[in-house]
Structure 1
């Protein structure tokens, strides 16, 4: 019995000792180091705010969709106020409700058959649109009401923005009127709204609303009647004064309506019909769609260096579409930096906290990222490289093909913007001759726009020149563009995000005349090889140990289906085909899916 106990004790002892050795071995086992990008290393050091504001992606799409704007605009321009609409709404009940609205409003709201017809038309055809518009109003109406209260403008005029733009700050009419309040270029300049290559403050909710409020106040001082103020906003004060003369000196909107332009005749009734549907939506079964957040809790920060929306979205881990929504006045999705001119970025408050706490690191990364030349795929098809000798044909990866079904409100421009391709690409892929496309049609779309099957580079830079970047600190990279029929300096400058002065300076142009087929330099930048520690002025722990050179860093790349050495080299700035072949001992260009390649730099 004693021997058994001693044997059992020894067994237990050795088992515990073996287990302890396994634990020590597991604890002391060295795990392979995981390399992270500069962006991830910067974000890892961020001081983050615990507040969390998440915006549903569908809600973002609703805020930026143009289909409601197009539908409402067409309705207001074509609706016949004299045609009776079959819709359940007793006339006597409508009169009672209009009287309730009139008692609490400075507008003279009176029943007439034309107004009844428009209200019934909206109820019959646009109930779903108004449900979405009421959700949008939860963000915009508080902005409007605050601005109108400062100028003693009736708060009900907030409904005019629904008629003007369907609450879309990116709405642009056929005549060029832009923004929530649809200012023409001249009117915007008259009210000190900045409009240049980067910025269009007609799309800025705060500044455009302040300008609209100022305009309304001036017109009321002239006409003394808010209905006439609305009429003048639509057709101009000149047309209103002419209508007053032609009516024999009458000064009420309903008395001069038939002497106003056709669109203005339906404009004020459409405004009153919109007010009615917002006021009595419950009675008509219109349930406003709700967002994750009813009102954006936002703040602004003054930007000290030029930054793109993509850089901001990457750094702050937020959708770029949300940045576009909150900052619609930046036309090129870039917050510019002009000396002595402040430019502000509007963000949710928790993102503002992250931005302010990490400004130095954010600007350092933006500067680093801007040094890497990137050509968007939409522009790639428009850029023609200048190659002296005919290059050797190389294998390019096949483009991924997907199909898109045309939906209501779509046009080729909208679809092209959505998939980051050009209109001409879509027309070529689908054998389209015109710019119209039928509802429900299936369109073929390719994710990779191939510039040329023989052109080795989109940017005008030979492989030898790129390879020389290994030993040189700076290399100037030029992008060229061949002028096509219909081009002018203005639209070329806008297309490539540069100023007209830069375009003329780079090409020694003394006039604005252009010949078709002429080659222009449209980008001239220095591609600087920067070590992360040299860029980041803030303390980033992961970069305290300075690497020998960018080439000393390496990572593995696993070949995917459709890859070629050319397509892989394009994924890594400054890396050439010969580099990859040298690093991996490859003599020809034969690579297979799943093959592991070493990439230095």
Structure 2
């Protein structure tokens, strides 16, 4: 009977939530599962288009890889077009094909041995590269052709983007040229390309291509020859003009080629060889990879609120890599909204339909996330001032984030729900560049409950504990200043001599470091690295990083005056005996002129001592000899330098001693120390 009743009760209990849900739904009330997120609840209400985009993540990774760009750049700079290449391509057949290309092109495409060698070299060593490039070109070439047609520029110039950037909008040369068309900063500004902290239009396919078309048209008006236009695009019109004069007034590229810069000598042959491979890829067995998206399958939408790529990816179920590929001009992975300027987001057409059908819900979600962010300290001062003491107060909390590979300010700001501008202000950053391994300060606010102040007894602190505390506090102040300088002189530091054809990307890849680390170690302000220059490749010392991490957690030693409340029967003599303090000191510290003391008054009984939780003490718990003041006795010792020692490693052996101390005590002006050398340690 008991089992039967228990079973009935259990079934009734299970039916209650089901019944409640049916009632709620019958009244039109939305019922959400307990674990559903706000994002999921928004997405559940989306009106969706039936067509879905299928994107291969491995293919997306291939598109954003800089390997192709590095390979092609290296080929142009280092390829010797006068060196014969062994490849099965009859010269007569090549001549006939070049004649066919010349017949339908405004370029003068004529056979010469140098061009033959470049074509054969590409066919022998770069077939796989061109299979990938041809897939990417399915997306970019239609927009190139449209822009060139508007300016009456030959459509064949679309192949130049393959030579310039390997069709990678994020490509940056060793001298700082950026984007598909490799515009320098000043040239980009000259052609009205916007470059600021959030946006670099040199990486925008449409805007950069329009600027390239305008440049080509302007150069053709000067030279009247498309090969010379290409040469001027690479080396500048000034170098082409000088080559013409040095050649005795000749105006054919092949006649002035030897008087052009070395890189430009291989530039036009690389362009013509690329055009040949695209025209005759089937005949040479080159099978283009499958492209991820066609140009005509994308569209743009005007943004009304600032959104990060992460937010867009979460809402529309898109890979962030695809957003980066379609919107390469947004440097921080954020589509900004500021002033009267219009900023657009490019998406696959099915995602455009999803976005526009649910625009109000998407912006409501962005606002919800914005409202949920922790406010900065400055914005909360008014709130903190009004906070009731019974409810608690608002205070600033500081956390630190160590930059990892692949991080940028946009992703870090999104992770902590703060603004990029705040991150830059808190860490005194002047640019958007952050080095791998750097610790970023992040401020937030938190509410703490009000605490009634109570008089508690100061705990006794041992001499050893205080010494350790002071040692770690000293490390915190000095390690940061010394670590970077000493890493450069440490035995783990290496050097790399720049080779011909090197750029920061290739050097970073060879040494398993990042471009930003190389820039930081060598104090670079530009991306230019001349051949023959010796670059410092520093290895971060693990124990230094650990020491800094430990030091960050150490609170500085706080010195305070220890006070005592006068009790019945106390006088200056008895208090002096209790705390081991001279009567004269008690009078001086407390400005006592009358020897009679009032019960309940507070007297300073110890000056500048260490206390952790309170400044008050009782005689029974306080002993002067147990409290260690900061003044310590200075004692000089000698240290003999051993093999492998550096100033930094020696300073670590003596707590509180810095590298600058060692230099000052021993009259050292540089970093050089030798085994057997005697150093004075004066503290």
**TM-score > 0.5 by shorter chain:** yes
Relative to structure 1, is the Cα distance of residues 185 and 26 closer, same or farther in structure 2, using a 3 angstrom cutoff? same
1:281 aligns with 2:281: yes
Report the CA distance between 1:53 and its aligned residue: 1.2
CA distance in 2, matches of 1:25, 1:134: 65
Q: Which of the two has higher C-alpha Rg?
A: 2
User: Is the Cα contact below 8 Å between 2:402 and 2:440 reproduced in 1?
Assistant: no
Q: How does 1:519-534 map to 2 (within 5 A)?
A: none
Report the CA distance between 1:86 and its aligned residue: 1.0
Report the CA distance between 1:184 and its aligned residue: 0.3
User: Is the Cα contact below 8 Å between 2:326 and 2:347 reproduced in 1?
Assistant: yes
User: Is the Cα contact below 8 Å between 2:401 and 2:442 reproduced in 1?
Assistant: no
Relative to structure 1, is the Cα distance of residues 424 and 376 closer, same or farther in structure 2, using a 3 angstrom cutoff? farther
Relative to structure 1, is the Cα distance of residues 300 and 455 closer, same or farther in structure 2, using a 3 angstrom cutoff? same
CA offsets 1:225-263 (integer angstroms, 9 cap, x no match): 100110110111111111111111111111111111111
Q: Which moved more, 1:21-30 or 1:111-120?
A: 21-30
Stretches of structure 2 lacking an aligned partner (at least 5 in a row): 1-7, 22-31, 375-398, 404-433, 444-468, 474-504, 521-534, 555-683
Q: 1:382 aligns with which of 439, 447, 454?
A: 439
CA offsets 1:294-325 (integer angstroms, 9 cap, x no match): 44611111111111111111111110111111
Task: State the secondary structure of the residue aligned to 2:86.
Answer: coil
Q: How does 1:576-591 map to 2 (within 5 A)?
A: none
CA distance in 2, matches of 1:125, 1:65: 19
Relative to structure 1, is the Cα distance of residues 114 and 33 closer, same or farther in structure 2, using a 3 angstrom cutoff? closer
User: Is the Cα contact below 8 Å between 1:135 and 1:289 reproduced in 2?
Assistant: yes
CA distance in 2, matches of 1:302, 1:375: 36
Q: How does 1:490-569 map to 2 (within 5 A)?
A: none
CA offsets 1:167-216 (integer angstroms, 9 cap, x no match): 00000000100000000001000000000111000000000000000011
Relative to structure 1, is the Cα distance of residues 49 and 226 closer, same or farther in structure 2, using a 3 angstrom cutoff? same
Structure 1 residue aligned with 2:87: 87
Relative to structure 1, is the Cα distance of residues 291 and 119 closer, same or farther in structure 2, using a 3 angstrom cutoff? same
Structure 2 residue aligned with 1:372: 373
Bigger relative contact order, structure 1 or 2 (CA pairs below 8 A, ≥6 apart): 1
Structure 2 residue aligned with 1:581: none
Structure 2 residue aligned with 1:213: 213
CA distance in 2, matches of 1:128, 1:410: 24
Q: How does 1:223-238 map to 2 (within 5 A)?
A: 223-238=223-238
User: Is the Cα contact below 8 Å between 1:412 and 1:436 reproduced in 2?
Assistant: no
Report the CA distance between 1:368 and its aligned residue: 3.3
Q: Which moved more, 1:133-142 or 1:295-304?
A: 295-304
Q: How does 1:191-590 map to 2 (within 5 A)?
A: 191-295=191-295, 297-370=297-370, 371-372=372-373, 377-378=402-403, 381-383=438-440, 411=508, 435=537, 452-453=549-550, 455=552
Task: State the secondary structure of the residue aligned to 2:218.
Answer: helix
Task: State the secondary structure of the residue aligned to 1:301.
Answer: strand
1:108 aligns with 2:205: no
Report the CA distance between 1:411 and its aligned residue: 3.5
Task: State the secondary structure of the residue aligned to 2:193.
Answer: coil
Relative to structure 1, is the Cα distance of residues 227 and 450 closer, same or farther in structure 2, using a 3 angstrom cutoff? farther
CA distance in 1, matches of 2:510, 2:439: 16
CA distance in 2, matches of 1:319, 1:385: 27
Relative to structure 1, is the Cα distance of residues 98 and 328 closer, same or farther in structure 2, using a 3 angstrom cutoff? same
Report the CA distance between 1:416 and its aligned residue: 7.2
Provide the TM-score with structure 1 as the length reference: 0.61
User: Is the Cα contact below 8 Å between 1:296 and 1:348 reproduced in 2?
Assistant: no
User: Is the Cα contact below 8 Å between 1:381 and 1:450 reproduced in 2?
Assistant: no
User: Is the Cα contact below 8 Å between 2:139 and 2:293 reproduced in 1?
Assistant: no
User: Is the Cα contact below 8 Å between 2:130 and 2:288 reproduced in 1?
Assistant: yes
CA distance in 1, matches of 2:343, 2:314: 20
Report the CA distance between 1:357 and its aligned residue: 2.2
User: Is the Cα contact below 8 Å between 1:66 and 1:409 reproduced in 2?
Assistant: no
Report the CA distance between 1:452 and its aligned residue: 2.9
CA distance in 2, matches of 1:451, 1:146: 56
User: Is the Cα contact below 8 Å between 1:413 and 1:423 reproduced in 2?
Assistant: no
CA distance in 2, matches of 1:96, 1:450: 71
